[in-house]
Amino acid sequence: MTTIRPFVCEDLFRFNNVNLDPLTETYGLPFYMQYLARWPEYFQTCESAGGRIMGYIMGKAEGGGEKWHGHVTALTVAPEFRRLGLAGTLMNNLEQISEQKKCFFVDLFVRVSNKVAVNMYRKLGYEVYRTVLEYYSGDVDEDAYDMRKALSRDKEKKSMIPLKRPVRPDELD
């Protein structure tokens, strides 16, 4: 009971019920507009029958060669609409778009402490590819998992073979 549609600028005026959640970051306008201008198809939102924003996903496609992949920049669902499988729907949509673009895999970063999210991504077929040390800055810096899911183009699922050692943020490509 959800309308999935492209995120539009106007939604920025009314996404507060989603963004007032402490784990959802509100960025400066350039950040959203950069994604809207460049990867509009990767920025989708869910709207309830009552017309409220339930959640949204932002992503992009990047990388060269076998590293050409879809990336989930942000995925969030408002508290009152959680546990309805919305995140899965939005992720699935992003994966399909990445398939269309002939990406090899989809990846995302998640706080190591965010167990609910890590488990959800596992259920959706994502594996921890590597740990990124102190990726999230804050009062205490926090590590991130770089989680990946291979797409059909990566038949042998090479992109998902976990790295043995953690990496530092400056080692990311």
Partner 1 sequence: MASGSHVDVNERRLRPIYDCLDNGNNKKAIQEAEKALKKHKDFQCAKVLKALALLRLGRHDESSVILDEIHSQHPTDEATLQAMAICYREVYKLEAIADLYENARKNCPDNEDILSALFMAYVRLGDYKKQQQTAMLLHRLQPNKNPCYFWAVMSIVMQSQSSEDEKLAKGMFLPLAERMVKKYVDEKKINAEEEVQLYLIILNLMGKWEEAYEVVTGELGEKLTSETFFKERKAAELFSKMQKWPEANAKFKFLLKENPDHWQYWKDYIYSCLKMVQSNWKPQEDSQDSEIDYTIDMACEFISQTITMCSKDRSLRGPYLAQLELIKVLRENGDLSVKNLGSPMELLQNYFKLFGDKNCCYEDMKLFTDLISKPQQLEMISSFMKTLELHNSDGDILFASDVKAMQRHLTILQMARYLGIQDTMIAEERLVLARECTQRYQHGLEFGKDLLITDIQYSDNFLLMAAHLLVEVWETTSNQQYLIEAIVQLQKGSKNCPANFQFKVMLIHLYSVLGAYGPCQQLYDSLEVKHIMNDTLGYVISNHMVRLGHFAAASANYGSMLKFFAVNHKETAEYLIAAYKYGSFNKIFEFVRFREKLQNSLQYACAKVESMLLDLMLETSNHQSVEQMVTHMEIDPSEEGAPAVEFGKLCDNRDLRIIESWDKETYDKRLASDFSFQEEKAWLRIRSLTLRILACAVSLGQQMSNSKTMNNGLGAEKKALHEILESLGKELSEHIREYEKKFNKVYDYSLRGPSPTRITKYLSDGHYQVVCSMIDTILHLFNLQPEDLEQSENEKQESPSQKVPEILASLLTKYRGTLLSETDGKKSINATVIENLSLLAETMSHSAILIGVCHRILKPLKTSWNKRCRKKKTETPPPLPPVFSNFTKLIASFDACAKDMHVATRDLDPVLLSIDLSSLSLADSDSKDSPDDAAIRKDVLKSIETSYQSTSREVCELIHNKLQYFNGLKL
Q: Which residues bind partner 1 (CB under 8 A)?
A: 1-6, 8-10, 12-14, 16-17, 19-23, 26-30, 33-34, 36-38, 40-41, 47-50, 52, 79-85, 89, 93, 96-97, 100-101, 113-116
Based on CB atoms, which residue is closest to partner 1, 81 or 129?
Answer: 81
User: How near is the Cβ of 144 to partner 1 at its closest, in Å?
Assistant: 16
Based on CB atoms, which residue is closest to partner 1, 39 or 129?
Answer: 39
Contact 140, 98 (CB under 8 A): no
Based on CB atoms, which residue is closest to partner 1, 22 or 64?
Answer: 22
Contacts of residue 43, Cβ cutoff 8 Å, sequence gap at least 6: 6, 7, 32, 35, 36, 56, 57, 58, 59
Residue with tokens 């205490």: 140
Short-list 96, 81, 95, CA closest to 46: 81
Using a 10 angstrom Cβ sphere, with 0-12 exposed, 13-18 middle and 19 or more buried, the burial of residue 156 is exposed
The one-letter amino acid code at 160 reads M
User: How near is the Cβ of 71 to partner 1 at its closest, in Å?
Assistant: 15
User: How near is the Cβ of 56 to partner 1 at its closest, in Å?
Assistant: 14
User: How near is the Cβ of 101 to partner 1 at its closest, in Å?
Assistant: 7
Based on CB atoms, which residue is closest to partner 1, 70 or 105?
Answer: 70
